[in-house]
Amino acid sequence: MAERQVERAPQTGGDDIWSKCPGCREIAFRKEVERNLNVCPKCGYHFRLTVSQRLSITVDRGSWREMLEDLAVGDPLEFVDSRPYPVRIAQARAQNGRNDAVVVGLAKIEDRPLALAVMDFEFMGGSMGVIVGEKLARLFDIATRKRLPLVIFTSSGGARMQEGMLSLMQMAKVSAAIARLRDARLPYIAVLCDPTSGGVAASFAMLGDLNIAEPGALIAFAGRRVIEQTTNQQLPDDFQRAEFLLAHGMLDAIVPRHQMRFTLARLLAMLSRKRAAARAGNGKRPRK
């Protein structure tokens, strides 16, 4: 499988009627692709989704309640590259209407309440900074207090370089919050979407009780070219794709988008029953 560069369906003209699939290179009506949950009707290529699109096809209508939306970071390191960091983040906020690269809240999937986070690749490549880590850590603690299962849809280029070590610290902070949820015997499901890489892949994205992915998702720590240059080896064409990771035991399942909502509902029901049975079993007195 060749590495794909296109994030969303490219347009073949200014009228926005058509889309060209990066997988099979076929042209289809854009509305047809959208009705098919942004999956190519001819080859099954999964286009990337916006946060709004993800929520609309995943949670019960009217159940989504966003939390912590006002959290925002300043410029802790006074970082400047070609543009100062405050300029970059202000542009990202203006373009996308959010304060940072993850939205968190409470919702229901087929009447099952849960805590939910969706990462936003359109916000600075879904990069993980202080606010992303803080929102996720707080969401895990909220789920622990409210005794709710938690699901995260990951889509990220990794740690945010403009926040340096402060960004990398979020890996440990969120992992500690996951441990508290696990100690409370509550389920956590990680859904890895295209792409999930860097520090996000190296931490909370791969720490779920179940780690599942969408078909064809790029999942990696270091980039393909970096690995090839470091090891001086030619890597397989499907290297770092979801199918490769599943074949090598790093994922529990690959779930097509059309089946994701139903699958999550079934998994949440199953894990919640098992955790409830385990808690009940731990509370029983031994027979005399």
- What pLDDT shows up at residue 177? 98
HSE (CB half, 13 Å, CA atoms) of 140? 26
pTM of this structure: 0.89
Report the relative pairing of strands 65-67 and 102-109 from DSSP bridges.
antiparallel
- The residues facing 150 across adjacent strands are 115, 188
Give the pLDDT score at 279: 67
Name the segment(s) of the chain with CATH classification 3.90.226.10. Answer: 48-280
pLDDT digits (tens, 9 = 90+) for 188-219: 999 999 999 999 999 999 999 999 999 999 99
- Report the C-alpha gap between 75 and 171 in whole angstroms: 19
Q: Does CATH place domain 48-280 in 3.10.20.30?
A: no
Cis status of the peptide bond prior to 256, with omega within 30 of 0: no
Q: pLDDT tier at 281 (50, 70, 90 boundaries)?
A: confident
Pairing of strands 102-109, 112-119: antiparallel
| pLDDT-based confidence at residue 6 (cuts at 50, 70, 90) | very low
| 31-77 pLDDT, tens digit each | 999 999 999 999 999 999 999 999 999 999 999 999 999 998 888 89
Measured CA to CA, the distance from residue 207 to residue 179 in angstroms comes to 9
pLDDT given at position 284? 54
Query: 76-83: long-range contacts (C-beta < 8 A, 24 or more apart)?
Result: 76/130, 76/163, 76/166, 77/162, 77/163, 77/164, 77/166, 79/161, 79/162, 79/163, 79/164, 81/162
